[in-house]
């Protein structure tokens, strides 16, 4: 079954404690991206990756890091989380930015 898998689904953490949200896809997609969703703001792109070892900033990259060492995986790293990063995060993959994107189930992150 074609899917994008994110883990964990829910996470509560404290300010400053490094965390990683994993994302994996099984569709051999080149393009992967991370979004955060906040009420009234829709989905805002954090980072995207065109291919292995190729990543670039989206619209709201501050406070986040990503890596793309393998085609199927695209983890999101928060080196020092802050409360303003409390949000719902989605990973997505597609063949390119112009075609259908498949989303993971989402990770609800709370930073206290």
Partner 1 sequence: GQQVMQIPQYQHVQEGEDFTTYCNSSTTLSNIQWYKQRPGGHPVFLIQLVKSGEVKKQKRLTFQFGEAKKNSSLHITATQTTDVGTYFCAASNDYKLSFGAGTTVTVRA
Which stretches of the chain bind partner 1, using CB under 8 A?
33, 35, 40-45, 48, 50, 56, 58-59, 90, 92, 97-106
Closest CA to 77 of 34, 37, 24: 34
Closest CA to 20 of 2, 6, 37: 6
Compute the least distance from the CB of residue 18 to partner 1, in Å: 25
Compute the least distance from the CB of residue 90 to partner 1, in Å: 6
Compute the least distance from the CB of residue 3 to partner 1, in Å: 11
17 vs 108 by CB, closer to partner 1:
108
Q: How many residues does the chain have?
A: 112
Q: Is the dihedral of CA 96, 106, 112, 83 positive or negative?
A: positive
């Amino acid at each position: 079954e074609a899917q994008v898998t994110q883990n964990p689904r829910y996470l509560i953490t404290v300010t400053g404690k490094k965390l990683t949200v994993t994302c994996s896809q099984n569709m051999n997609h080149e393009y992967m991206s991370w979004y955060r969703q906040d009420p009234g703001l829709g989905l805002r792109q954090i980072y995207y990756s065109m291919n292995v070892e190729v990543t670039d900033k989206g619209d709201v990259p501050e406070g986040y890091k990503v890596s793309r060492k393998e085609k199927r995986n695209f983890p999101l790293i928060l080196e020092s989380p802050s409360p303003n990063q409390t949000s719902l995060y989605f990973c997505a993959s597609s063949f390119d930015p112009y075609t259908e994107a498949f989303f993971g189930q989402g990770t609800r992150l709370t930073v206290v």
